[in-house]
Amino acid sequence: MLVNDQQNLKAISPILKYSLITGVALLLGLRLFFWLSGNMVADEAYYWMWSQHPAISYYDHPPLNAWILWLASKLFGWNVLALRIGPILTFLADIWILWAISKQISDQPKQHFALTLTLFLATPIFLTMTMLALPDHLMVMLLLLALLCFIKFFKAMEMGAHVWTWLYAACICVGLATLAKYNAVLLGAGAFLYALTNKHARSIFKHWQSYAAFALFLLVVGPEIYWNINTNASSITFILRDRHAGLPTENNFSGLIGYLGGMIGFLSPFLLWPLAKSLWPTSKNIPQLGLARCIFWVSTLLFLALSLTTDIMFHWNLVAYIAILPFLAHFIRWGWLLFSHIAYGVLLAAIIAYNFGALPIRTYFSTADYFSARSFGWKETAEWVEELRLVHEPDFIVGTHYTISSPLGFALQNPDVTDLGAAHSQFRYWFAAPKHLGDNALIITHSGKGLGAELETRFEQVELLDTIEIYRQGYLVEKRQAYLATGFKN
């Protein structure tokens, strides 16, 4: 018997009901505004540049997002629609999968789905990770689909049936999600822990089909395995060691504080109580809640331990939140706590949409942070660069950081724009330095630090050509400088 604890939306006060509906409408509107604003986050352009250099895998992340963007570029051309069509389609798929999961874990699926969808729309981490053309939007969809398949499989096992098709599908989905981001494998690890600890599920290990399902997973992630074997585990080394230099001293809790603070901020403080109740032992008969708990704890405790040694980005624990999301509707009601959560989500969505779609908010008080600033002014920058290119006829165009090279390459519709900055990036795998010996380059950087001594030594001579200032609403967002560098040496 499924749990029956969803409060009917019709039973709440009209003021609260219309407030909730207004909040959801605002969340959808802000998402649509950002999609249509024409601005992009620099990382989105970075993955687009990947897609224009098809490969079996890549340095920073696995290849699935780049493959999807390559297909979008062939179907829709080189434009923002092609960039964003993926997140739009996966967002619609997420909604359908949440509905399918609701039918599996509640006997009032319409009420449960309405609550779950509201939480999905209003929770900041799902808003940010499903709105952008980053690997995360694919991981969210594929892991939700894997969760649905695992739920169906383990429910059937509890009734004495072994529907192996659902297990095969779940493992394939986890494999595809891992082709989007490495941390997706933690959902599979959580499902494995559940099978070990649940008396009904434990018998899975007696059947060869379970090992065949794992083999399917390995087959799907084969491109990642091949890439890392042939590049001396470059991606794994980057993820585990090179991405962060560690905390400044021993026994420093800044990583832990940042991890917990990110969890509170991007889940929202108003979701902590329902989350705690979902993880606490309960008498409610909620199908496969144990599965979601295992996944949540495997991911959360791993990053909790890592936070004692390095900084953890807020979205790394996304797997845990994906697993527990469909079950939170059993522990929250249509009330003021939910309204507060929606209001919090609307506020953060508005800040994000405005910051990346209209004007970096920090510009009102000082200078814009570089990551926000790199979302603006690339059309005028590309026109400026094209004028300089016609005058000086460089052999190639260069940025000094991937957040410059990528949006510039996108705006120029030129896949050969490269990055010669100090930070290691995927561009190093594309740029064949010996082929450019003696060539001249047009180098674009941001004002303030120049090119840096290391980059200047790679050319015979470097000359500052011009500076462009990017303004929005009368505020200076960023200055960009162009250098002519002649005689490339190495």
Measured in degrees and rounded to the nearest 5, phi and psi for residue 195 equal: -65, -35
pLDDT at 367: 85
Contact partners, residue 13, CB within 8 Å, separation at least 6: none
Burial letters 175-184, b for 16+ CB under 10 A, else e: bbbbbbbbbb
**C-alpha 351, offset from chain centre:** 18
Transcribe 419-457 into DSSP letters: E-SSS--THHHH--GGGGTT--EEEEEETTS-S-HHHHT
475-488/459-472 β-pairing: antiparallel
- The answer to whether the beta carbons of residues 6 and 117 sit under 8 Å apart is no
Measured in degrees and rounded to the nearest 5, phi and psi for residue 329 equal: -65, -20
pLDDT digits (tens, 9 = 90+) for 297-329: 999 999 999 888 888 888 999 999 999 999 999
Contact partners, residue 407, CB within 8 Å, separation at least 6: 40, 42, 45, 374, 375, 378
Spatial distance between the Cα atoms of 215 and 310, rounded to a whole number of angstroms = 33
Measured in degrees and rounded to the nearest 5, phi and psi for residue 407 equal: -65, -30
- 475: amino acid identity, one letter: Y
- 362: amino acid identity, one letter: R
Cα separations in angstroms, 41 against 4, 410, 458: 43, 12, 30
Contact partners, residue 397, CB within 8 Å, separation at least 6: 385, 389, 408, 412, 414, 416, 417, 418, 441, 442, 443, 444
pLDDT at 241: 64
Spatial distance between the Cα atoms of 462 and 387, rounded to a whole number of angstroms = 19
Contact partners, residue 89, CB within 8 Å, separation at least 6: none
pLDDT at 288 over 50: yes
Measured in degrees and rounded to the nearest 5, phi and psi for residue 12 equal: -85, 170
- The answer to whether the beta carbons of residues 218 and 224 sit under 8 Å apart is no
- 168: amino acid identity, one letter: Y
Radius of gyration in angstroms for the set of CA atoms belonging to the chain, rounded to a whole number? 24
pLDDT digits (tens, 9 = 90+) for 426-475: 998 889 999 999 999 999 998 766 788 889 999 999 999 999 999 999 99
Question: Which two three-digit tokens encode residue 146?
Answer: 């894997």
Residues 341-355 have a mean pLDDT of 92
Burial letters 222-245, b for 16+ CB under 10 A, else e: ebbeebbeeeeebbeeebeeeeee
Residue 249 — pLDDT band, cuts 50, 70, 90? very low
pLDDT at 99 over 80: yes
pLDDT digits (tens, 9 = 90+) for 162-197: 899 999 999 999 999 999 999 999 999 999 999 999
Spatial distance between the Cα atoms of 268 and 270, rounded to a whole number of angstroms = 5
Coil, strand or helix: which one is 384? Answer: helix
Residue 13 — pLDDT band, cuts 50, 70, 90? low
Q: Which residue in the block uniquely carries the two structure tokens 């087959």?
A: 219
Beta bridge partners of 481: 445, 467
Beta bridge partners of 326: none
pLDDT at 283: 63
- Residue ranges in 132-288 assigned as alpha helix (H): 135-158, 164-178, 185-197, 208-220, 222-230, 234-237, 254-267, 272-279
| Cβ count within 10 A of residue 118 | 23
Residue 425 — pLDDT band, cuts 50, 70, 90? confident
Residue count of the chain, please give it. 490
Contact partners, residue 8, CB within 8 Å, separation at least 6: 111
459-472/418-419 β-pairing: unpaired
pLDDT at 380 over 80: yes
